[in-house]
Amino acid sequence: MSDRPRPLLLPALAAALPLVLLAALSLGAVTVSPLAVLRSALSALGLPARPMPEVQEVIVWSVRLPRVLAAALVGGGLAVVGASLQSLFRNPLADAGLLGVGPGAALGAVLAVNLGWAQQRFLALPVSACLGAFLALLLVYGLAHAGGRPSLPGLLLTGVAVSALAAAATSVLLVAIEEFRVRTILFWLAGGLEGRGFEHAALAAAFVIPGSTLLWLLARPLDVLTLGEEEAAALAVPVHTVRLAVFGICALVAGPVTAVAGSVPFVGLIAPHALRPLVGPLNRRLLPASFLAGAILVVAADLAARWLGDRVELPLGSVTAFVGAPYFLLALRGQEGTA
Amino acid sequence: MTTAAVEARDVRLERGGRPVLRGVSLALFPGEALALVGPNASGKSTLLRALAGLLPVASGELSVEGRALREWTRPALARRVALVAAEDEAPARLAVADRVRLGRYPYRGPLTPFTADDEAAVGRALRLAEIEHLAGRALGTLSAGERQLALLARGLAQEPSVLLLDEPAAHLDIRHQLHLLRLIDEVRAQGVAVLAVIHDLQRAAWAPRMALLEAGRIAAAGTPAEVLESEAAGRAFGVAIRGVGEGTHRLWRFEQRA
């Protein structure tokens, strides 16, 4: 096991992200040369460069750009949330799903469709999904705190129970839904970024960027928390305040992200997991590296979802799960017991 | 008269409604070492945690450097009192130097970058614990003994005036136990007051002073010979204890009571 942090990894990831973004802007049903995309970008900035033909300009800047930006924000947000929760719970398997955020968001979305809101207002679906995620979180936190300060396993188990409840309610609503709407919902549950516009990217950015920054500012207390609750308290970390803050910020990031992209599993697990041996467990380095790796992962997965499907797009969540689940099983077998 | 580095006066502490400490008084001066012994559940670890400010007392008073514990802010207290537990729960991938540097948290808090002062303190702690050569290694690659030394170094990086050790040698073989106790003596020589909970009574006799806790009370206190050969010790542990040899070479034999 090589445990020396690699100082070049973070710059390498930072350099790789623009390349992946450029590839995702260029490739698709209509393939545009990356150089043409760069020239067009320069001309948009007022520099003397040649723009692309009108159709390609529309495809790259109006259709692909918001989707690619949304993908990067979704991936970055999920990975930072995953890494933070893993430090908080001192468990490499912790993920946004544990907070009940995913199932809560799904329930909110299905409700919005069922009640007809989603058809009346454009952002009704993501907003209800957000509300569903927050309500699930409040429920998890409230229930877990009902008998005083909860233990971490108590919180985790409450999260599992609330998730199961939300999933059960979602199933009931799905049965009751008109058949032609089931497809919309199913696609959303499977995760996807098809047809996401700038308003979706803006919604993700509004929560992911400040949220990730705040989590990064909490990196050091989070590091101390990984030493154990008692040691953290003895080193003057306000354990419960930090825990509540991290928990709340994670929900504020994961809720909107799930609302924008639906369920995108494994990103929050595998990005930090793969990076920890390379950059070490300290969050000041791990969180930015996770953000970049998560962004790259989801942009690439979304590109694959667009590309691999013949005529139809593959669900983004299935792509990340197809890659993530086997990786995760292998990783778990390879290093059982080393967190 | 110098001020006690740490002092407990008639401390009573309850956990879950049950009294765990009942009227404990003790004082440690700079450079002193006291071994705290006693049967299981006698309140040793509780006393240590109370002194670290982690558990509130029901009555009586705890003070550090002459100031009552409740008058200290948490970070200020963590700069004077370091608690080193028996188990290191840190992530296996954490590097030794990074682990020790987290001991500087009470000095810098969440945001202020670590300074040259912090690096110097980390360097001194690693040197004192004799693990400089392990600085870049991940904790998961260390032996139990080395890991315990890394944990001790984190405590030393806090530059405390009081070092509280809970079973510091519990998982160590005899060579590492003696090594650890020698290091603690060196720390003590720098004026740090050391209070150590030690289960192994023979090992505990390393300290010039010993206190026996039984059911939340100090049942005996004095030199190791005075404490171990007291009637209270035999009663507390439920064994017959007999001293052999003289002075610092004195050893103890423990036998089941007939």
Q: What is the pLDDT of residue B102?
A: 97
State how far residue B62 is from chain A, nearest Cα, in angstroms: 16
More confident residue, A101 or B216: B216
Measured CB to CB, residues of chain A less than 8 Å from chain B are 1, 3-5, 90, 217-218, 220-221, 223-224, 226-228, 230-231, 233-238, 276-277, 280-282, 338-339
CB neighbour class for A308 (10 Å; exposed up to 12, middle 13-18, buried from 19):
exposed
User: Which residue in chain B has the smallest CA separation from A90?
Assistant: B91
B164 strand-pairing partners? B83, B195
Q: Do A231 and B85 touch (CB under 8 A)?
A: yes
> What mean pLDDT is predicted for residues A93-110?
81
Mutation site, B15, B55, B89, interface A, largest A CB count within 10 A: B89
More confident residue, A47 or B39: B39
> What mean pLDDT is predicted for residues A225-247?
93
Name the most confidently modeled range: A53-62, A73-82, A133-142.
A73-82
Q: Do B111 and A5 touch (CB under 8 A)?
A: no
Q: Do A220 and B94 touch (CB under 8 A)?
A: no
The pTM of this model reads 0.91
Q: Which phi and psi (to 5°) does residue A31 adopt? A: -95, 130
Helix axis angle, A239-261 to A198-217, nearest 10°? 160
DSSP state of B227: H
Q: Do B98 and A282 touch (CB under 8 A)?
A: yes
d(CA B139, CA B101): 14
Q: Do A221 and B110 touch (CB under 8 A)?
A: yes
Residue A3 confidence (pLDDT) above 50 = no
Q: What is the pLDDT of residue A239?
A: 93
Say yes or no: B187 contacts chain A, CB-CB below 8 A.
Answer: no
In A, which residues are within 8 Å of B108 by CB distance? Answer: 220
Q: Do A223 and B102 touch (CB under 8 A)?
A: yes
Mutation site, A227, A275, A278, A282, interface B, largest B CB count within 10 A: A227
Q: Do A339 and B54 touch (CB under 8 A)?
A: no
pLDDT band at A2 (very low <50, low <70, confident <90, very high): very low
At position A239, the amino acid (one-letter code) is V
| A2 inside domain | no
| A84 inside domain | yes
> What mean pLDDT is predicted for residues A144-158?
75
| A46 inside domain | no
Q: Which of B52, B102, B109 is the closest to A227 by Cβ?
A: B102
State how far residue A266 is from chain B, nearest Cα, in angstroms: 22
Residue A134 confidence (pLDDT) above 60 = yes
| A181 inside domain | yes
Residue listed under structure tokens 């009704």: A124
| Contact call for residues B5 and B28 (beta carbons, < 8 A) | yes
Residue listed under structure tokens 């429920």: A139
More confident residue, A79 or A136: A79
Q: Which of B94, B95, B103 is the closest to A235 by Cβ?
A: B103
d(CA A152, CA A235): 20
> What mean pLDDT is predicted for residues A102-124?
81
State how far residue A329 is from chain B, nearest Cα, in angstroms: 20
Q: What is the pLDDT of residue A149?
A: 66
Say yes or no: B52 contacts chain A, CB-CB below 8 A.
Answer: yes
Would you say how long chain B is, in residues? 258
| A58 inside domain | no
> What mean pLDDT is predicted for residues B188-212?
95
CB neighbour class for A27 (10 Å; exposed up to 12, middle 13-18, buried from 19):
middle
Residue B87 confidence (pLDDT) above 90 = no
Helix axis angle, A9-26 to A34-44, nearest 10°? 90
State how far residue A235 is from chain B, nearest Cα, in angstroms: 6
In chain B, residues 149-168 whose CB comes closer than 8 Å to chain A: 158
Torsion of CA B218, B224, B226, B228, to 10 degrees: 70
Residue B1 confidence (pLDDT) above 80 = no
Token pair belonging to A90: 């001192």
d(CA A108, CA A244): 23
> What mean pLDDT is predicted for residues B121-129?
96
Per-residue pLDDT tens digits for A173-213:
888 877 777 777 776 778 889 888 999 999 999 999 999 99
All structural domains of chain B, each given as residue ranges with its CATH number in brackets, are 6-256 (3.40.50.300)
* C-alpha gyration radius of chain B: 18
State how far residue B132 is from chain A, nearest Cα, in angstroms: 16
Residue B215 confidence (pLDDT) above 50 = yes
| A275 inside domain | yes
Residue listed under structure tokens 């700079």: B30
Q: Which of B95, B102, B111 is the closest to A3 by Cβ?
A: B95
At position A171, the amino acid (one-letter code) is S
Residue A153 confidence (pLDDT) above 60 = yes
State how far residue B247 is from chain A, nearest Cα, in angstroms: 37
Token pair belonging to B45: 């670890």
| A321 inside domain | yes
Q: Do A220 and B90 touch (CB under 8 A)?
A: no
Q: Which of A220, A277, A280 is the closest to B95 by Cβ?
A: A280
> What mean pLDDT is predicted for residues A91-97?
79
| A24 inside domain | no
Q: What is the pLDDT of residue A178?
A: 78
Q: Do B91 and A1 touch (CB under 8 A)?
A: no
Q: What is the pLDDT of residue A256?
A: 87
The helix (H) or strand (E) run that includes residue B27 is strand B18-28
- What is the domain range of residue A136? 71-331
Give chain A's domain count: 1
| Interface size, chain A vs chain B, as Cβ–Cβ contacts under 8 Å | 83
Q: Is B242 helix (H, G, I), strand (E, B) or coil?
A: strand
> What mean pLDDT is predicted for residues B103-116?
96
Q: Is B1 helix (H, G, I), strand (E, B) or coil?
A: coil
| Sheet containing B18-28: order of strands | B18-28, B6-15, B59-64, B67-68
Q: What is the pLDDT of residue A150?
A: 67
Token pair belonging to B202: 């023979």
Q: What is the pLDDT of residue A313?
A: 84
State how far residue A271 is from chain B, nearest Cα, in angstroms: 16
- Give the domain CATH number at A90: 1.10.3470.10
pLDDT band at A338 (very low <50, low <70, confident <90, very high): very low
| Contact call for residues B64 and B103 (beta carbons, < 8 A) | no
For A107, A263, A266, B191, the CA distances from A165, given in Å and listed in that order, are: 10, 17, 21, 59
Q: What is the b/e burial string over A51-69, where b = at least 16 CB atoms within 10 angstroms of the residue's CB?
A: ebeeebbebbbebbbbbbb
The alpha carbon of A294 is separated from its chain's Cα centroid by a whole number of angstroms, namely 8
Instruction: Report percent pLDDT > 90 for chain A.
Output: 47
State how far residue A185 is from chain B, nearest Cα, in angstroms: 40
Q: What is the pLDDT of residue A133?
A: 84
Strand B193-197 versus strand B33-37 pairing type: parallel
More confident residue, A310 or B125: B125
* C-alpha gyration radius of chain A: 20
Per-residue pLDDT tens digits for B147-165:
999 999 999 999 999 999 9
Q: What is the pLDDT of residue A113?
A: 82
Q: What is the pLDDT of residue A87?
A: 92
Q: What is the pLDDT of residue B14?
A: 95
d(CA A81, CA A133): 14
Q: What is the pLDDT of residue B64?
A: 97
